Each structure stands twice: as structure tokens, then as C-alpha cells.
């Protein structure tokens, strides 16, 4: 565990140095790949920044767009995992999405994009899916990150591990527990692998909304998820 913590702190220190990251940023981000993509690794982390394109997701009480927050946290997570030697595939790495010409409505475009993401995940050998989202509620009181798990592989165990890590890293007063994801989440329902969906914070909570505006808090979320992933799999990208 001490070795893992030293590795995580090293990754974080490097991540905070823009000068060291410039060549890495230029070379790491590529357009999401299509079906048939294969990485020769025992485990590949697939990071899914929730929503995107015409689907902005929820809007915070201060007007922040969920899809943009999801993408920023996901990119930070991608950098950390890359620096720690973990193979990563992003389901999207920009705010814009390309839709089929026959997708004429927002619903049709969203469905098409979800199908594309599912096909991408299923085309990868040994994927572990982490989908990044933000929560929302009519009232301002609810707070705290929560992790939801799919029905395949180590989904439940990984979700519990990430949930506990997020509580320790973000807010010890958070009493939420990992729960099984609902059947209407297309990506989790249509992928055949270990999968978790992380609601990082409540956009409807004034405190968490303000925190999400800061680079430091988004980095803390990313670091916590990365630390949990590495801790769960023993700091190795092996089965």
C-alpha cells in the first residue's frame, strides 16, 4: 500500500507540472477509436465522459454544464492513469460529437452515440469501464459522490472500493453506498465487462457546485478514482 501511495503521489506531482505535461498532452489525446480496436494488455481502462455533443446533461445551479465537467475530470483521470502506465481508451475527448446523417432528432443522435460507445467498449479486449457523471436533485441538500455498478465481472466489488475511496478523499460525512445501476443506463446494460458509473458530486448542491468550478477539486476527484482503480487491482494492470 505504501508503494502504491508513493506511486500515486508521484503521478500527482507530475500532473501538476504543466511544463512536463506539454509533450504528453500533445501525444496522448486521440480521437475515439471505432470497433475492432485492440490493445495488447491484460486490462484496459475505458473512461467514458458522460453526455457530450447535443446532450449536455444536467445544468448546475450556477449554470455549469455537466458534460463539460465530466470531460475535464475524465481527461485528468486519463493523464494520471497514463503516467502510471495504465492503458486507457476514452469514449470521447472533445465536446463535439459526429452523428450519422440519418439521426435527425436529439433523441436519435443520443441513441446513436450510446450505441457507438457500447460498440467501442465491446470491441476492446479485457476492458474495465468507468463512466463519469454528476448528480442532480430538485433540492439543494443532497451531497456526496456515489458509485453505481453493472452486473458483470468485478463491477460490484470495484464500485464499493471506489465509493469508500471517494468518501475518504472528498467528504468523510458522505454516507452514500455503492448501488446497482438501473436498467435504463444504456451503456452499462449493453457492455459485457466490469463497469461502474460514478456520480462525482451534486450540481444542485451549492457547496459542491462551487467546488466543481475549481481545478483543484476536479483533480482531487480524478486522483481518488485513479488511486481506487490502482488499489483495487493491486497496483498492477494484471488479472
Structural class in CATH, domain 2-15+51-232: alpha beta
- Is a pLDDT exceeding 60 seen at residue 209? yes
- Quickly state the pLDDT bin for 41 (edges 50, 70, 90): low
Query: Residue 17: is its pLDDT beyond 90?
Result: no
* DSSP conformation letters of the chain: -HHHHHHHHHHHHHHT-HHHHHHHHHHH--PPP-TT----SS-EEEEEE-SBTTB---B-TT--BHHHHHHHHHHHHHHHHHHTT--EEES-SSS-----TT--SHHHHHHHHHHHHHHHHHHSSSEEEEEEEEE--SSS-----EEEE-SSTTHHHHHHHHHHHHHHHH-TT-----EEPPTT-HHHHT--SEEEEEEEEETTSHHHHHHHTSHHHHHHHHHHHHHHHHHHTTTSS--
pTM over 0.85: no
Q: pLDDT (tens digit, 9 = 90+) per residue, 92-151?
A: 999 988 888 898 898 899 999 999 999 999 999 999 999 999 999 999 999 999 999 999
| pLDDT for res 7 | 47
Amino acid at each position: 500500500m505504501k508503494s502504491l501511495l508513493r506511486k500515486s503521489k508521484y503521478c500527482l506531482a507530475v500532473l501538476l507540472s504543466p511544463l512536463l505535461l506539454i509533450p504528453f498532452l500533445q501525444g496522448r489525446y486521440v480521437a475515439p477509436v471505432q470497433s475492432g480496436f485492440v490493445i495488447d494488455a491484460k486490462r484496459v481502462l475505458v473512461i467514458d465522459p458522460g453526455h457530450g455533443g447535443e446532450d449536455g446533461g444536467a445544468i448546475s445551479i450556477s449554470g455549469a454544464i455537466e458534460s463539460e465537467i465530466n470531460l475535464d475530470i475524465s481527461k485528468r483521470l486519463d493523464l494520471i492513469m497514463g503516467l502510471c502506465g495504465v492503458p486507457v481508451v476514452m469514449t470521447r475527448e472533445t465536446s463535439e460529437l459526429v452523428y450519422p446523417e440519418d439521426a435527425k432528432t436529439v433523441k436519435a443522435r443520443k441513441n446513436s452515440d450510446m450505441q457507438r460507445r457500447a460498440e467501442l467498449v465491446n470491441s476492446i479486449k479485457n476492458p474495465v469501464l468507468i463512466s463519469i457523471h454528476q448528480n442532480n436533485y430538485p433540492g439543494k441538500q443532497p451531497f456526496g459522490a456515489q458509485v453505481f455498478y453493472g452486473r458483470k465481472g468485478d463491477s460490484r466489488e470495484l464500485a464499493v472500493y471506489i465509493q469508500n475511496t471517494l468518501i475518504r478523499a472528498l467528504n468523510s460525512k458522505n454516507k452514500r453506498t455503492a448501488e446497482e445501476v438501473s436498467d435504463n443506463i444504456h451503456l452499462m446494460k449493453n457492455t459485457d465487462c466490469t463497469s461502474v458509473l460514478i456520480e462525482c458530486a451534486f450540481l444542485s448542491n451549492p457547496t459542491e457546485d462551487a467546488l466543481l468550478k475549481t481545478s483543484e477539486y476536479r483533480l482531487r476527484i480524478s486522483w481518488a478514482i485513479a488511486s481506487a482503480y490502482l488499489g483495487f487491482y493491486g497496483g498492477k494492470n494484471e488479472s
